[in-house]
Structure 1
């Protein structure tokens, strides 16, 4: 029931587009824009290309909405994020995190989901191409990134637990906890930077997790 209401709410966020033409992706858009495409046939069997354009520097207060759906390069819908765009035979679910796109999937009426194709000139497209050309290296990068996130999570939880058990009321009931992890400043900064890079890499592969967010 919750998912049904969530879907209905996100569908209601999609508003009619302004009919503008899709702007071509340029290299200076690398850090501020994501573009994904999907080819679908309409009820008559005519093929259409649907593209979702996400501008990361826009939010609900911007003059233009951060996400837009284009059909054959013409804007048909626009919305704040997260949003669900209706398309023939299903929907396109779009969501972002602080590190990039975390959901860009076409979900059919029978529940099957597939990721849209990233524009080859975008960061997501470049990361996908790197993974195709160097699959082993890509897998190693992904594994190392996951380890970094887990280590960062463990360190954060240990520090939080130590701070909580310093509260007198808590200490009286559960005792105190001393974190076994005490990193020097340089190591803390290095781990934070590595964690941000790992989270960004997962976002570029649309594999964001709650740890990265």
Structure 2
């Protein structure tokens, strides 16, 4: 982690929907004054493919770190972690383990997803459920492909006679399901949802 340079926080712009995440949290300090902590995450921030997170205090740059990042703040830390498809964690954590997710900027992709959930809860739940189904199907396809590959390895064939996947999917369907799993992981990343098996398998 490196110290900040005090530069002002830039407003979120619509063309940054896929290249920037912005989350904030207001916390009371020891003197009772509230401080707004803002985390600005750029997935390709350091120019070498590693994500970069910047912490702002009341709109002024305070610190920078590669992702995953842990920023000490009043009463705890802010933890930032990313997956292949976006953020999987941007939480304030106290020493006793209490967690609070930071609030996304309304103009960001995550903020728009929150607004959809607020304005159309039934639709939001349906989209969330569809994402889980797509990921479960995607994991199943990966397992079937692994079974097929392992069953063709010469030592396995010599010892067990070889075996094949019980289901053979056409290439177009495998590609379609793979793309569906990617979209589902992206949707879940907007809500900072992550499961090592479901979302990890789509990576």
Alignment TM-score > 0.5, same fold = yes
- In the aligned structure 2, how far is the partner of 1:115 from the partner of 1:177? 47
Q: Is the 8 Å Cα contact of residues 152 and 164 (structure 2) preserved in structure 1? A: no
TM alignment of 1:23-172, pairs within 5 A: 23-59=10-46, 61=48, 66-172=52-158
Counterpart in the other structure of 1:192: 178
SS in 1 for 2:81: strand
TM, length-normalised to structure 1: 0.88
Q: Is the 8 Å Cα contact of residues 43 and 51 (structure 2) preserved in structure 1? A: no
- In the aligned structure 2, how far is the partner of 1:152 from the partner of 1:98? 16
How far did 1:104 drift?
Answer: 0.3
SS in 2 for 1:212: helix
How far did 1:140 drift?
Answer: 1.2
Q: Is the 8 Å Cα contact of residues 20 and 75 (structure 1) preserved in structure 2? A: yes
Gaps of 5+ in 1: 1-13
- In the aligned structure 2, how far is the partner of 1:120 from the partner of 1:204? 12
How far did 1:65 drift?
Answer: 7.2
Q: Is the 8 Å Cα contact of residues 44 and 51 (structure 2) preserved in structure 1? A: no
Gaps of 5+ in 2: none
- In the aligned structure 1, how far is the partner of 2:55 from the partner of 2:25? 11
Deviations 1:125-154 (A, max 9, x none): 000110111111111111111111111111
The 10-residue stretch of structure 1 (178-187 or 17-26) with the greater mean CA deviation from structure 2: 178-187
How far did 1:177 drift?
Answer: 2.6
How far did 1:19 drift?
Answer: 1.2
Q: Is the 8 Å Cα contact of residues 81 and 96 (structure 1) preserved in structure 2? A: yes
User: Are residues 141 and 75 of structure 1, via their aligned partners in 2, closer, same or farther at CA, if it must alter by over 3 Å?
Assistant: same
Deviations 1:79-119 (A, max 9, x none): 00101000000000001111111100000121100100000
Counterpart in the other structure of 1:201: 187
TM, length-normalised to structure 2: 0.92
SS in 2 for 1:68: strand
Aligned length: 199
Q: Is the 8 Å Cα contact of residues 81 and 90 (structure 2) preserved in structure 1? A: yes
- In the aligned structure 1, how far is the partner of 2:31 from the partner of 2:161? 69
User: Are residues 160 and 130 of structure 1, via their aligned partners in 2, closer, same or farther at CA, if it must alter by over 3 Å?
Assistant: same
Q: Is the 8 Å Cα contact of residues 148 and 191 (structure 1) preserved in structure 2? A: yes
How far did 1:174 drift?
Answer: 4.3
